[in-house]
Amino acid sequence: MSDYLEHVRSLEDLHRIIDQRDAPGTHEAVEKLITDVKATAEAITRDMEAVVAEIQTEAAIAADRITVETSGTVADIKKETTHAAARLLRDVKTGEDEKSNARAAGRIIEEASNATVELHKRADEAVSSITVQVEASVAEFRQAVEEAVRSLTELVQEAVRKVAEKSKEAAAQVLGSEADRDSDEAATKLKRETAAKAIKALAKAAGKLNRVAEEASAKLKKASEEAIEKVENAARMATASVESAINGANEKILEVTKASIEDVVDTEDLELFDLEALKQKWGKKD
């Protein structure tokens, strides 16, 4: 996050502008204050967009990882179970009738189909859960940013109002003193007095602007960290959910495949089906 104080002018700068130019300097100092607030608000908005982009990037990476992992597992399941089923129908000579082999092969294919449907469903749910958390985190962070900008806007509005009041007072006093013999001297004195009052009003505004900038920097830094952390946690939970589903699907398919083969294959023919290789190929997602 930016140090928003770098966008805030010092009170000494505002004082110098007013002191050098009296009343006209007051208006210039107010304009400088408005510029400072605008620059700070723009910096906050830039930071907001950077944080939002980081949140969305983190979510996109997690979603892509889940999709790729799920797709790879589904492809392996389809390939290996299809091979096992085909071997039952083509290669094994057990003396059993073809219908038994066909039923066994069908159970393998059915379980694989059910597993892949469930895995795709779990992956979609996982990606959706990440998306929901991203939307919530972005909304919370944007709200924090809006509150910070609103505080700055209210601050400068109040400062402008107070300085405007002092200017009106000065104008009225100068008009009232025009009948005096020393009207020029009186007017100059009043302008300086008004400038001093404006400096006092701006001192409060400048001091508050510094506090608001510091508070905004700390608050938005914390809000951004919390938003990113929530998305990272959601991504970890979603990934763990998919990996758990993959493990469960692998175990169930291996169990069904083994049982189906054992039903129709003699013990000595089991070695034609390398179930251990299937376990190692699909593996567990740790």
Q: Per residue in 193-210, pLDDT tens?
A: 666 666 677 777 777 777
Q: Per residue in 61-107, pLDDT tens?
A: 999 999 998 888 888 888 877 877 777 666 555 555 667 777 777 88
Q: Provide the number of structural domains found in the chain.
A: 1
Per-residue model confidence (pLDDT) at position 283: 47
Average pLDDT, integer, range 179-203 = 64
Structural domain harbouring 238: 4-282
Q: What percent of the chain has pLDDT over 90?
A: 20
CB proximity list for 174: less than 8 A, separation 6 or greater: 186, 187, 190, 191
Mean pLDDT (the chain) is 76
- Checking if the pLDDT of 235 tops 90, the result is yes
Virtual torsion, Cα 273, 274, 275, 279, nearest 10 deg: -150
- Checking if the pLDDT of 174 tops 90, the result is no
Give the closest residue to 279 by CA, choosing from 50, 77, 72. Answer: 77
CB proximity list for 242: less than 8 A, separation 6 or greater: 66, 69, 70, 119, 122, 123, 126, 285
Dist. CA 15–CA 161, nearest whole Å:
18
CB proximity list for 32: less than 8 A, separation 6 or greater: 9, 13, 14, 17
State the maximum Cα–Cα separation within the chain, in Å, rounded to a whole number.
Answer: 131
pTM of the model: 0.70
CB proximity list for 116: less than 8 A, separation 6 or greater: 74, 77, 78, 249
- Checking if the pLDDT of 183 tops 90, the result is no
* Residue of 65 and 179 predicted with greater confidence: 65
Give the DSSP letter string of 122-145: HHHHHHHHHHHHHHHHHHHHHHHH
Average pLDDT, integer, range 225-253 = 90
CA R_g for the chain:
37
Residue 144, token pair as written in the block = 């924090």
Average pLDDT, integer, range 239-253 = 87
Give the DSSP letter string of 232-262: HHHHHHHHHHHHHHHHHHHHHHHHHHHHHHH
Which three-class secondary structure state does DSSP give residue 94?
coil
* Residue of 8 and 206 predicted with greater confidence: 206
Virtual torsion, Cα 143, 147, 211, 30, nearest 10 deg: 140
Average pLDDT, integer, range 268-281 = 51
What CATH number is attached to the domain comprising 12?
1.20.1270
Q: Per residue in 98-154, pLDDT tens?
A: 677 777 778 888 888 888 898 999 999 999 999 999 999 999 999 999 988 888 888
- Band (pLDDT 50/70/90 cuts) for residue 181 is very low
- Checking if the pLDDT of 17 tops 70, the result is no
